[in-house]
Amino acid sequence: MIEIKNSENVKEFEIFGELAKHHHEQVIFCNDTEVGLKAIISIHNTMLGPALGGTRMWNYASDMEALNDVLRLARGMTFKASISGLNLGGGKAVIIGDAAKLKNEKLLRRFGRFIENLHGKYITAEDVNMSPDDMEYIAMETKYVTGLDESLGGSGDPSPVTAYGVYMGMKAAAKKAYGNDSLVGKKIAVQGTGHVGMHLLEYLSKENVKLFVSDLSEEKAKAAAARFGAVVVGESEIYDLNVDIYSPCALGATVNDNTIERLKCDIIAGAANNQLGDDVVHGKRLIEKGILYAPDFLINAGGLINVGINYLGGWTKERVYKKTEKIYQTTLDILNLAEREGVSTQEAAMKLAIKRIEDVARVKRSM
Ligand code: NAD
């Protein structure tokens, strides 16, 4: 018999409190001690369609940290799918543990069985520490997987499409800030020269911009600098640069209490998820500082558009890039809406995403 202590009862209530706060629909805890699988699937909202979002494998410090991460990420996917006009809901999964030590066929296929048991309510794809090869193992046990390798009929690496969307969003922000979307002569700092960062640098270098790059890996930063004629700057130095545009393409929450006062740019536009440490506080501070922020979940949606269309059907490269190109106009619309309503650009984007979900809910209720 499982002994339920008082303290555990308190925690149970805290979890439901967390779910209620942002209206998460369902959370599934997946456990198989024999194969060493501990995973959490979070389904935030399925009004528009099945919840699509990648699986991340991470060595979380605690189970609560993992839960927190998966809840936050799933909610972000709801906004991203909605604002991108996709008939998809928001979800995400995390596998707890050190990918280098624990990830193997058995674990991934067992995780696939858990997804299959949800009968399509959640669809998975790649995320941090998961590769197309890992997706192939998951796909052996479930059809609810997307983002497989192109050789298997999948849409392949999403990074080039994501970078294209970020580039579109950045140009739209330039149009709003400077009255012209040309980036020629602008000074742009790209933080993170990984998959998306490198593709973005490729677009930017064609516009003759003055590029600055930083990466935790000196080797990667140097390779980017050599290829695109960029200047390598330090991990912290990037926040103090006198640049026109700061593009976070590494990790989240880099726009926070510590960095925001140091930034001298006119525009923030990058690929990283959850760039604002706090949506409300930092969204407002950016308005006060006169920095135009292109909302992350809007401009980094190219990857989701790619895997989403791949799952929903009718995927062609042309269609995906055409839909991703629309990020330019949506960004402009949102920047204008935020200005008109005197709210942060993040708030305006969230408002629009929620409105679409509510509109569709109304349509679905009608006869
Ligand atoms: P990646 O892992 O290929 O690249 C990230 C790079 O950032 C790495 O080279 C890493 O060394 C570097 N980095 C980490 N911490 C850093 C720091 N403090 N300063 C400087 N560099 C640092 O990841 P990616 O696929 O290029 O994705 C980049 C970001 O965009 C991530 O936040 C990801 O969640 C987000 N994103 C990616 C996609 C996609 O299609 N890949 C889609 C949407 C959002």
pLDDT per residue, tens digit, the chain (367 aa), is 444 455 555 455 588 888 999 999 999 999 999 999 999 999 999 999 999 999 999 999 999 999 999 999 999 999 999 999 999 999 999 999 999 999 999 999 999 999 999 999 999 998 989 988 999 999 999 999 998 888 888 888 899 999 999 999 999 999 999 999 999 999 999 999 999 999 999 999 999 999 999 999 999 999 999 999 999 999 999 999 999 999 999 988 999 999 999 999 999 999 999 999 999 999 999 999 999 999 999 999 999 999 999 999 999 999 999 999 999 999 999 999 999 999 999 999 999 999 999 999 999 999 7
AA letter at 310: N
- How far, in whole angstroms, is CA 154 from its chain's centroid? 20
The ligand 1 atom at the shortest distance from the C-alpha of residue 196 is: 26
Ligand 1 contact, 197 CB (< 6 A): yes
Q: What pLDDT does residue 135 have?
A: 93
Beta-sheet pairing, 37-45 with 26-32: antiparallel
pLDDT at 13: 54
Q: What is the 159 CA–ligand 1 centroid distance (Å)?
A: 10
pLDDT of residue 11: 54
Domains (ranges, CATH) in the chain? 22-73+91-152 (3.40.50.10860), 159-301+328-354 (3.40.50.720)
Which residue's alpha carbon is at the smallest distance from atom 40 of ligand 1?
A: 159
* Confidence at residue 138, expressed as pLDDT on a 0 to 100 scale: 97
What tokens were used for 88? Answer: 């998809």
pTM of model > 0.85: yes
Burial class (CB in 10 A: 0-12, 13-18, 19+), 16: exposed
- DSSP 3-state assignment of 154? coil
Q: Which whole-number Å values give the CA distances from 207 to 152, 162, 184, 343, in the listed order?
A: 35, 18, 5, 31
Sign of CA dihedral 149, 325, 314, 116: positive
Predicted local confidence at residue 8, as pLDDT: 52
192 Cβ inside 6 Å of ligand 1:
yes
Burial class for 91, CB neighbours closer than 10 Å (0-12, 13-18, 19+): buried
Ligand 1 closest atom vs CA 250: 7
Q: Does the Cβ of 327 fall within 6 Å of ligand 1?
A: no
One-letter amino acid at 78 equals T
Per-residue confidence (pLDDT) for residue 2, from 0 to 100: 47
Return the pLDDT at 152: 86
Residue 313 has what DSSP assignment?
S
Alpha carbon of 197 to ligand 1 centroid (Å) = 7
Which pairing describes strands 187-191 and 245-248: parallel, antiparallel, or unpaired? parallel
Helix (H, G, I), strand (E, B) or coil at 92: strand
The Cβ of residue 25 has, within 10 Å, a number of other Cβ atoms equal to 18
Are the CB atoms for 111 and 30 separated by under 8 Å? yes
Ligand 1 touching residue 190 (CB < 6 A): no
**Separation of 240 CA from ligand 1 center, angstroms?**
20
Angstrom CA distances, 335 to 33, 122, 167, stand at 49, 32, 16
Note the pLDDT of residue 1. Answer: 44
Q: Ligand 1 centre and the CA of 55: distance in Å?
A: 15
Interhelix angle for 159-178 vs 302-312, to 10°?
130
For tokens 């330039």, the residue is 174
Give the residue from 238, 226, 166 showing the smallest Cα distance to 196. Answer: 166
If one counts every other C-beta atom within 10 angstroms of the C-beta of residue 295, the result is: 32
Active-site residue set: 92
